[in-house]
Amino acid sequence: MTTAMAAPVAVPCEEVDRRITRSRRALRNALIELATERGMDGFTVNDLCERADLNRGTFYNHFKGKDDLALSLQTEFMDEIGRFRDRMQELTLMDLAKTTVTKRPLPVLVELFDYLREQSDLLGAMLGPAGDAKFSQQLRDGLCADLIWGLLHERYRREPTPFVEYYIAFYSAAYLGVITRWLKTGMRESSEDMARIAMRLLLIKPGESLTV
């Protein structure tokens, strides 16, 4: 397999053609709009192309179908989320201790909520009642669960008991629920507030005082 490189003068590398990026952006926006309005099952490829103002053939040039487009947007998002996950797993106990001293929320958490806000149109469509159950689970298992694992004592990480597994399931679902609620109520709280709330929910115990 001697694939002789065609040796272009300037390596394109990124997608060069503006038409492609324009079509994809239009389709992205149309999908999010329609999914928000009618749910993922409430519209057809025809509707999608009409909203995006482009030909149906163009759509099929890029994606295999509606779900393929949705999946594309989701993985794009999840890749970015992966960076946050990696950063959080590198957190030391020092970093955590620092937050209780300085009373400032974890910077990486604040940035995470900033990013979630930035992507709130996509998330609102996918996490909503008529959204994509698969995506919710991806986010739960690919972000929240990993974070909780990182907080566990190494002893439990190496030999998880049945209860530890439920413990993980409990907290990862819980944080996805918090994020979902924040998005659904219009993101009234600032990213800093949400980071603080997230920290506090980790340490609270029912019955304790809940005053803000």
Please identify which residue in 10, 93, 94, 203 interacts with DNA, judged by CB under 7 A. 10
Nearest to 157 by CA among 206, 89, 99, 94: 89
When asked if residue 9 is in the footprint of DNA (CB under 7 A), the reply is: yes
Rank residues 3 and 211 by Cβ distance to DNA and give the closer one: 3
Nearest to 39 by CA among 83, 70, 84, 79: 70
Nearest to 119 by CA among 60, 62, 73, 178: 73
When asked if residue 28 is in the footprint of DNA (CB under 7 A), the reply is: no
Give me the 129-168 binding string for a second copy, x by CB under 8 A, dash otherwise: xxxxxx-xx--x----------xxx--x----xxxxxxx-
What's the Cα-to-Cα distance from 79 to each of 74, 114, 137, rounded to whole Å?
Answer: 9, 16, 15
Report the chain's C-alpha Rg in angstroms. 21
Please identify which residue in 33, 39, 62, 87 interacts with DNA, judged by CB under 7 A. 62
Smallest separation (angstroms) from DNA to the CB of 55: 3
Smallest separation (angstroms) from a second copy to the CB of 180: 7
* Span near a second copy by CB under 8 A; candidates 23-31, 46-54, 70-78, 183-191: 183-191
Smallest separation (angstroms) from a second copy to the CB of 148: 8
Query: Which residues are near DNA by CB under 7 A?
Result: 8-10, 12, 16-20, 22-23, 44-47, 53-58, 60-62, 64-66
